[in-house]
Amino acid sequence: MTSIADIVAEHAHREGPLLPILHDVQKAFGYVSEDAMRDIAQALNLTRAEVYGVVSFYHDFRKEAEARPILKLCRAEACKARGVDALVPIAENQSRVKVEAVYCLGMCSVGPAALVGDQVIARLDATRLSSLLEAM
Ligand code: FES
């Protein structure tokens, strides 16, 4: 099992190691805990407030564990133009999957788009979204 110390050691030699460390901590543990922020701050000789500020600034970082799978549904303009607003109620009228808004996944021409883990899903419609939610 990976530890915070392992992740810090992997990136400590880099210039600007904080963001890669936070990304890897979240990937390993699903969120960046208060304890992790404290340990990272200590290891990088930063204040806890500096680490907390970065975690709070970027919406992708979680400060608490989320037990449900997460679907990130693009709500930016191109996906809006391609009909994402009609999909939002389908996504939000269930409780098994946590649905979050994101603003552009770089798949504008094939939206509406969503992200599950590292996988981008394009050309969503009501049927595909329902199937996706059931499969998660
Ligand atoms: S606007 Fe949705 S992927 Fe770009």
Give me the tens of pLDDT residue by residue for the chain, a chain 136 residues long: 789 999 999 998 999 999 999 999 999 999 999 999 999 999 999 999 999 999 999 988 999 988 899 999 999 999 999 999 999 999 999 999 999 999 999 999 999 999 998 899 999 999 999 999 999 8
Gap between the terminal Cα atoms of the chain: 25
Spell out the domain ranges in the chain: 4-57, 70-135
Is the CB of 110 inside a 6 Å radius of any atom of ligand 1? no
Distances (CA, A) of 57 to 63, 88, 104, 134: 12, 25, 18, 32
> What is the distance between the alpha carbons of residues 50 and 100, in angstroms, rounded to a whole number?
26
Is the CB of 84 inside a 6 Å radius of any atom of ligand 1? no
Distances (CA, A) of 21 to 29, 44, 81, 129, 135: 12, 10, 36, 33, 31
Q: Look up the CATH number of domain 70-135.
A: 3.40.30.10
Q: Ligand 1 center to residue 83 CA distance, Å? A: 11
